[in-house]
Copies of this chain bind each other. A is one copy, B any other.
Amino acid sequence: MKFGGTSMAGIERIRHVAALVKREADRGNQVAVVVSAMAGETDRLVQMCREAAPLYDPREYDVVVASGEQVTSGLLAITLTGMGLNARSYMGWQLPIRASGHSSALIDHIEASILEGVFEKGGIAVIPGFQGVTPEGDLATLGRGGSDTSAVALAVAVEADRCDIYTDVEGVFTTDPRIVPRARKLEAITYEEMLELASVGAKVLQTRSVGLAMRYNMPLQVLSSFEDQPGTLIVGDEKIEELHMERQLVTGIAHDKNEARITLTGLPDKPGTVAAIFAPLAEANVNVDMIVQSGRAGETSDLTFTVPTAALAHSVAALEKAKAAIGFAAIVTDTNVVKISAVGIGMRSNAGIAAKMFETLAERGINILAISTSEIKVSVLVPEDYTELAVRVLHTAFGLDAKEAA
């Protein structure tokens, strides 16, 4: 069981978490609990590090920031023992959880022997998420959101039946319920679909944690710590077959406003132009996404592509610097765009999804500025003003609307 910062924000909520843990233990389950810091606490600690020195030492940053989860694991263990349960907290350095280095470290290995000993004695282990110990024996943190990854890695280490990620949402929805009131909570979704949804803006779980679960085929469940009902299972494709769960061609519609469009005009028609454009961007560590080239052979052409909004200024600077080598006429940028994506494992065996998507948007007069596809995802770039309309019509077109509004 993993509980996020909102679930751990204050003693009242920790008491509620303890009741959920007790319920699982009472059902005869062996339970390890991974906890985040109280909501806002990590930000507060990071802020203090920045104030102490803008280019803070990463080793010492980890010492400061790891304290947030230390506090919540101790408090949860106190609450559980206060309820008569045999609960103990174990810090990352105690188990140990071996991490690769400082801030944003990866987990190299989790030693399961202490936890197995706890389970044998019918105990409950509480573990601070987001942290481990470096090869030098120093405190390490896993980078923001790392508690989900801690939970999955720990579940793998103790060969758990399932890793339940409790959060402040009820599960994974077919789309953002704030845009489409008839959005449905999904009963189950594959790891790949979840990864694609996460990559286009559906921030339910940290991407790294889903990738890790997929690698070890560890079943995940995303569920609410505030609502007493099942969440969404995130499992392998074969597991969904096994459970005879509902399947749909498209599982969800996501939108991502963190994309900016860059167009280079008047590009010369000569070999090596595209390489000359993307080489400086790669060097500047910018992820280029949707790419559209327009123009005819023998004439100058335009090239349009998207980058994360946060990398826009950076990208333009890199391109301006390479202007002579590329030979473009002008750079045109646009941040008023949104990427709308349809994700579904059913696309693998059904070629009509992209066509249906373009048709549906065209019917409403929505102009498609760029397209990109992966095996189980079709993304289109449209003007930002059309975000809600586009999401709604696609949600309906792919048969995702619930019978009633939530």
Chain A interface residue count, Cβ-Cβ cutoff 8 angstroms: 39
Q: Mark A49-79, 1 if CB is under 8 A from B, else 0.
A: 1011111110111111011001101110111
CA gap between A77 and B75 in the complex, in Å: 27
Is A336 part of the contact surface with B, judged by Cβ < 8 Å?
Answer: no
Stretch binding the partner chain, chosen from A86-94, A153-161, A231-239: A86-94
Q: A56-B81, A63-B89, A64-B71 provided; 7 other pairs, C-beta below 8 A? A: A15-B52, A49-B74, A60-B77, A63-B70, A63-B91, A70-B70, A94-B137
Is A135 part of the contact surface with B, judged by Cβ < 8 Å?
Answer: no
Find out whether the CB atom of B64 lies under 8 angstroms from the CB atom of A52: no
Q: Mark A85-103, 1 if CB is under 8 A from B, else 0.
A: 0001101011000000000
Chain A 39-53 residues near chain B, CB threshold 8 A? 45, 48-49, 51-53
Residues from chain B with a CB closer than 8 A to the CB of A54 are 82
Residues from chain B with a CB closer than 8 A to the CB of A75 are 48-49, 52, 60, 64
Find out whether the CB atom of A73 lies under 8 angstroms from the CB atom of B79: no
* Interface SS of chain A: helix
Residues from chain B with a CB closer than 8 A to the CB of A66 are 70
Is A138 part of the contact surface with B, judged by Cβ < 8 Å?
Answer: yes
When C-beta atoms are compared, the residue in chain B nearest to A82 turns out to be B53
Is A376 part of the contact surface with B, judged by Cβ < 8 Å?
Answer: no
Is A14 part of the contact surface with B, judged by Cβ < 8 Å?
Answer: yes
CA gap between A169 and B45 in the complex, in Å: 29
CA gap between A63 and B126 in the complex, in Å: 12
When C-beta atoms are compared, the residue in chain B nearest to A56 turns out to be B78
Is A11 part of the contact surface with B, judged by Cβ < 8 Å?
Answer: yes
